């Protein structure tokens, strides 16, 4: 509840500042499709999360069609699914601090779903065209800082020996397995449609990818086929396609 209160206060402050012509504020409600990849060919992407970005946008125009863009918002249900390949992985020990029933040992072929919530602060340079009728087109490269506020996980387990299978519908707190900070970069583009002198609808498409490891591999061990357990130290990246929908004032 507090997060929406803070967002509301930010909206009030932003509205007061829009009297300055070189500053614009807005609001976005943007669906996202996210997935995870790693630099280890034994651990591969195996599913996409449908999420939502909700937040405020601020733009400072230092020239008519060039602005510095920032804001603050929430990204709900970011993440994806990682599959430990059955052909190369004998077993894996993961999420040992998540209080999951059993011994936290899973056979190769098991699938792990990450559902992560972030607070995001983007920084970008927005370049837009002159008006064509009521429409302007734009492109926006950006970098973002995201702070993990929540992380839940589900397991679709391939049975190992006679151990019970974890309920795939049950989710667990896996914050200890997800890094607090995620840094990413990306680029997007779209259009603004003016509905009044000072108000425009925004629609666009963007792609973002992290350049930091979003997972923590503490106490994670993996046994390859024909080998013993070793520390698992892969780097996992978060990728997002964003359908940007918003309004600027």
d(CA 86, CA 225): 9
Stretch 140-154: mean pLDDT, rounded? 97
Q: Compute the distance between CA of residue 32 and CA of residue 18 in angstroms, rounded to an integer.
A: 28
Vertex 215 angle, CA 108 and 109, to 5°:
10
- Model confidence at 164: pLDDT above 70: no
Q: Please give the Cα distance from 151 to 173 (Å, whole number).
A: 6
Beta-bridge mates of residue 25: 58
Ramachandran category for residue 104: left, alpha or beta (phi over 0 → left; psi -120 to 50 → alpha): left
The percentage of residues in the chain with a pLDDT greater than 70, rounded to a whole number, is 89
Q: How far apart are CA 189 and CA 127, in angstroms?
A: 9
Average pLDDT, the chain: 90
pLDDT over 60 (residue 10): no
> What tens digit of pLDDT does each residue of 214-227 get?
999 888 999 988 78
Measured CA angle at 48 (ends 232, 45), to 5 deg:
30
Give the domains, in start order, of the chain with CATH numbers: 2-248 (2.40.160.20)
Rounded-to-integer distance, Cα 186 and Cα 90, Å: 36
Would you call 231 exposed, middle or buried from its count of C-beta atoms within 10 A (0-12, 13-18, 19+)? exposed
227 vs 209 pLDDT, higher one: 209
Least confident of 20-24, 186-190, 215-219: 20-24
Residue ranges of the alpha helices (H) in the chain? Answer: 2-17
% of residues, the chain, pLDDT over 90: 73
For the cut 90, the answer to whether the pLDDT of residue 167 exceeds it is no
Confidence label for 20 from pLDDT (cuts 50, 70 and 90): low
DSSP helix/strand/coil, 248: strand
pLDDT given for residue 152 in this prediction: 97
CA distance 36 to 78: 9
- pLDDT, residue 84, reads 95
**Tell me, what's the pLDDT at 101?**
82
| pTM as predicted | 0.87
Residue 94, pLDDT > 80, answer yes
pLDDT at 19 over 60: no
Range with lowest mean pLDDT among 25-39, 51-65, 68-82, 163-177 = 163-177
Band (pLDDT 50/70/90 cuts) for residue 140 is very high
pLDDT at 162: 59
What whole-number distance in Å separates Cα of residue 237 and Cα of residue 47?
Answer: 14
Cβ neighbours of residue 133 under 8 Å, at least 6 residues apart? none
Q: Is the pLDDT of residue 17 over 90?
A: no
Is the pLDDT at 13 greater than 60? The verdict is: no
HSE at residue 23, side-chain half, CA atoms within 13 A, is: 11
């Amino acid at each position: 509840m507090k997060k929406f209160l803070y967002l509301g206060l930010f909206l009030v402050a932003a509205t007061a500042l829009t009297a300055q012509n070189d500053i614009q504020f807005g609001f976005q409600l943007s669906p996202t499709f996210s997935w995870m990849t790693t630099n280890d060919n034994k651990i591969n992407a195996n599913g996409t999360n449908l999420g939502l970005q909700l937040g405020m946008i601020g733009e400072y125009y230092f020239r008519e069609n060039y602005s510095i863009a920032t804001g603050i918002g929430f990204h709900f249900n970011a993440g994806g699914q990682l599959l430990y390949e059955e052909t190369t992985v004998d077993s894996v020990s993961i999420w040992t601090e998540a209080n999951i029933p059993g011994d936290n040992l899973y056979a190769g072929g098991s699938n792990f779903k990450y559902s992560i919530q972030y607070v995001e602060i983007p920084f970008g340079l927005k370049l837009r065209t002159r008006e064509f009728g009521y429409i302007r087109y734009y492109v926006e490269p950006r970098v973002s800082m995201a702070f993990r506020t929540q992380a839940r996980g589900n397991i679709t387990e391939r049975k190992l020996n006679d151990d019970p299978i974890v309920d795939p519908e049950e989710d667990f707190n896996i914050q200890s397995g997800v890094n607090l900070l995620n840094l990413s970069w990306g680029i997007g583009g779209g259009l603004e449609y003016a509905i009044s002198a000072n108000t425009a609808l925004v629609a666009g498409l963007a792609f973002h990818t992290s350049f930091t490891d979003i997972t923590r591999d503490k106490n994670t061990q993996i046994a390859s086929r024909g080998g013993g357990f070793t520390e698992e130290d892969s780097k996992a990246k978060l990728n997002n396609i964003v359908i940007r929908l918003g309004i600027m004032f």
